[in-house]
């Protein structure tokens, strides 16, 4: 092999191009096959391995774009390593080739752990990534003559990098475009409910600019989960298994589930990572089968005390069995706000359990329900430092005002929630003055949040606004700030504004 030295910059560019082609070609093939890509497989393992503090930091900084940030971060690191290894390999190809082989094997092993990838697909992706990366690097470095045309070599490397990025982008677009048709979501016909949610009558919401809608549209509903690649689950092959401590284990298909008696309910969901005043909470109208009815058919055994919900990607939640029978809304849901569940929100089927944070209850892409003892299983987030029991705490948020506004009378408004109990009272304090009761919207249910508002006359200058809520059990938000970990944030939401 030719060991003539070439400039470091040329080796670095060739390394970047090799990584881009490796990633890009495998991304496109993954989209064609309908399986997670190698970079998504690596990202999944990163999510599994990071401690809760890192997860909290990512959500604080990037919000619901945390997964995109992770994918971009992995890509940037990979391209940087490609540049470094390319520079090291300017005399001979072996260091870069060995690194690409190692990457392909590690990425295949990481991706094969995903239930959605199968056993063969990760290795096909790895083989293509290996071939594309090695070929690209050797092609760009084959002319190691003493005085190659630097501009021509740079153009070749830049073109190869661009092609790799184009392939990656095409793969992402193709995957997004084919997801709906691959799942059969557009063919789902929703039936009626035996009990429907009440209509949004006058009084259930306030007309205040910048106030969050009483029912959050699907496209605006927060999304927090561990899935880097949204699972694509076909309705014609989906089934839900009831196993574990039951006398009558059984499976139910999607068509069979759709023929069950359904109910429609307003339920507010909240992520445990939601900071005081944060947006990782939302209210929606859910259609589904009561979990209790399906569990009764399975006949829980004496001693069973925990429901484990398992997703198609093996994510798990765990919550008390009594939560399915204590009168709260606990649904095996198939629709959200009048349409089949959006794919990113769990299509075809998910769990919705009122009053429990999502990390212990809200299984998306549901595939299995297992009954076990409370100590017999710890779901996904429990070994990672989060509490096993996680009732949603009473919270309130100021939506408006948040910045500057004209002095004079204006509405202070926001939302408050205490699912499974209901909100009894919301109080507002301006400039550390006396607490004043706010007006509450008529509740849609005890599981749904309410809007609140209070007119206040603001003099010109700086002002501080605080809010606190009290639930129907008489529990009032405490003033002391508590971080989300390990079982939910606490404290009064406080904003500083300027009246001009």
Closest CA to 227 of 345, 100, 60, 383: 345
Closest CA to 188 of 340, 317, 357: 340
| Calpha distance 444→197 (Å, rounded) | 8
Cα atoms in the Cβ-side hemisphere of radius 13 Å centred on 127: 5
CB 351 within 8 A of CB 362: yes
CB 32 within 8 A of CB 147: no
**Domain extent listing, the chain:** 8-183, 218-372, 395-499
| Calpha distance 318→276 (Å, rounded) | 25
Long-range contacts of 60-68, Cβ-Cβ distance < 8 Å, separation of 24 or more: 60/275, 63/279, 63/280, 64/222, 64/223, 64/224, 64/280, 66/224, 67/43, 67/227, 67/228
Which CATH entry fits the domain spanning 218-372: 3.90.420.10, 3.30.420.10, 1.20.1250.20, 3.10.270.10? 3.90.420.10
Task: Supply the pTM of this predicted model.
Answer: 0.86
| Calpha distance 346→39 (Å, rounded) | 22
User: What is the SS3 assignment for the chain?
Assistant: CCCCCCCHHHHHHHHHHHHHHHHHHHHHHHHHHCCCCHHHHHHHHHHHHCCHHHHHHHHHHHHHHHHHHHHHHHHHHHHHHHHHHHHHCCCCCHHHHHHHHHHHHHHHHHHHCCCCCCCCHHHHHHHHHHHHHHHHHHHHHCCCCCCCCHHHHHHHHHHHHHHHHHHHHHHHHHHHHHHHHHHCHHHCCCCCCCECCCCCCCCCCCCCCCCCCCCCCHHHCCCCCCCCCCCCCCCCCCEEEEEECECCCEEEEHHHHHCCCCEEEEEEEECCCCCCCCCCEEEEEEEEEEHHHHHHHHCECCCCCEEEEEECCCCEEEEEHHHHCCCCCEEEEEEECCEECCHHHCCCCEEEECCECHHHHCCCCEEEEEEECCCCCCCCCCCCCCCCCCECCCEEEEEECCCEECCEEEEEEEEEECCCCCEEEEEEEECCCCCEECEECCCCCCCCCEEEEEEEEECCEEEEEEEEEEECCCCECCCCCECCCCCCCECCEEEEEEEC
Which numeric CATH code is attached to 395-499?
A: 2.60.40.650
> Residue 1's pLDDT is what?
41
| Calpha distance 180→187 (Å, rounded) | 10
Closest CA to 5 of 183, 145, 202, 127: 145
Cα atoms in the Cβ-side hemisphere of radius 13 Å centred on 439: 14
> Residue 2's pLDDT is what?
45
Closest CA to 196 of 287, 80, 259, 75: 287
Joined together, the tokens standing for residue 362 give 């809200």
Per-residue tens of pLDDT for the chain, all 500 residues = 445 567 888 899 999 999 999 999 999 999 998 888 999 999 988 888 888 778 778 877 887 788 888 999 999 999 999 999 999 998 889 999 999 999 999 999 999 987 777 789 999 999 999 999 999 999 999 876 554 566 888 899 999 999 999 999 999 888 877 776 778 999 999 988 888 898 899 999 999 999 999 999 999 999 999 888 888 899 999 999 999 999 999 999 999 999 999 999 999 999 999 999 999 999 999 999 999 999 999 999 999 999 999 999 999 999 999 999 999 999 999 999 999 999 999 999 999 999 999 999 999 999 999 999 999 999 999 999 999 999 999 999 999 999 999 999 999 999 999 999 999 999 999 999 999 999 999 999 999 999 999 999 999 999 999 999 999 999 999 999 999 999 999 999 999 999 99
User: What are the distances in angstroms from CA 333 to CA 38, 221, 260, 284?
Assistant: 31, 16, 12, 12
């Amino acid at each position: 092999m030719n060991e003539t030295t070439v400039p470091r910059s040329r080796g670095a560019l060739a390394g970047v191009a090799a990584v881009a082609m490796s990633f890009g070609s495998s991304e496109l093939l993954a989209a064609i096959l309908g399986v997670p890509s190698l970079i998504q497989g690596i990202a999944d393992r990163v999510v599994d391995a990071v401690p809760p503090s890192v997860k909290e930091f990512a959500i604080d900084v990037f919000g619901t774009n945390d997964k995109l940030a992770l994918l971009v971060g992995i890509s940037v690191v990979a391209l940087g390593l490609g540049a470094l290894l390319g520079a090291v390999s300017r005399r001979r190809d072996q260091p870069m080739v060995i690194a690409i082989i190692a990457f392909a094997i590690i990425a295949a092993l990481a991706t094969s752990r995903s239930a959605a990838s199968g056993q063969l697909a990760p290795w096909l992706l790895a083989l293509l990534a290996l071939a594309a990366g090695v070929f690209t690097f050797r092609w760009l470095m084959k002319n190691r003559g003493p005085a190659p045309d630097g501009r021509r070599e740079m153009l070749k490397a830049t073109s190869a990098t661009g092609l790799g990025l184009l392939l990656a982008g095409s793969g992402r677009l193709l995957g997004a475009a084919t997801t709906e048709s691959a799942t059969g979501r557009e063919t789902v016909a929703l039936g009626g409910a035996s009990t429907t949610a009440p209509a949004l009558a006058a009084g259930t919401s306030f007309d205040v600019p910048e106030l969050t809608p009483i029912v959050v549209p699907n496209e605006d509903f927060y999304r927090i989960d561990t899935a880097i690649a949204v699972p694509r689950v076909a309705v014609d092959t989906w089934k839900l298994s009831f196993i574990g401590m039951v006398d009558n284990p059984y499976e139910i298909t999607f068509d069979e589930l759709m023929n069950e008696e359904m109910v429609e309910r307003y339920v507010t969901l909240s992520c445990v990572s939601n900071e005081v005043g944060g947006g990782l909470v939302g209210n929606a109208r859910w259609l589904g089968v009561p979990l209790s009815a399906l569990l009764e058919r399975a006949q829980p055994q004496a001693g069973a005390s925990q429901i484990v919900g398992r997703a198609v990607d093996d994510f798990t939640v765990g919550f008390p069995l009594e939560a399915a029978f204590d009168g709260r809304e606990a649904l095996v849901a198939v629709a959200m706000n009048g349409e089949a569940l959006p794919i990113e929100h769990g299509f075809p089927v998910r769990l919705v359990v009122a009053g429990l944070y999502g990390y212990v209850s809200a299984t998306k892409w549901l595939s299995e329900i297992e009954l076990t003892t409370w100590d017999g299983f710890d779901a996904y987030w429990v070994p990672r430092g989060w509490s096993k029991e996680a009732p949603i705490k009473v919270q309130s948020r100021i939506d408006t005002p948040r910045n500057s506004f004209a002095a004079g009378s204006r509405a202070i408004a926001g939302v408050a929630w205490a699912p499974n109990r209901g909100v009894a009272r919301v109080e507002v304090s301006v400039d550390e003055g006396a607490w004043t009761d706010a007006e509450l919207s008529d509740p849609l249910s005890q599981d749904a949040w309410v809007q609140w508002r209070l007119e206040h006359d603001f003099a010109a200058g700086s002002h501080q606004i605080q809010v606190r809520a009290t639930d129907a059990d008489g529990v009032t938000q405490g003033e002391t700030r508590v971080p989300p970990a390990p079982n939910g944030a606490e404290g009064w939401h406080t904003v500083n504004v300027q009246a001009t």
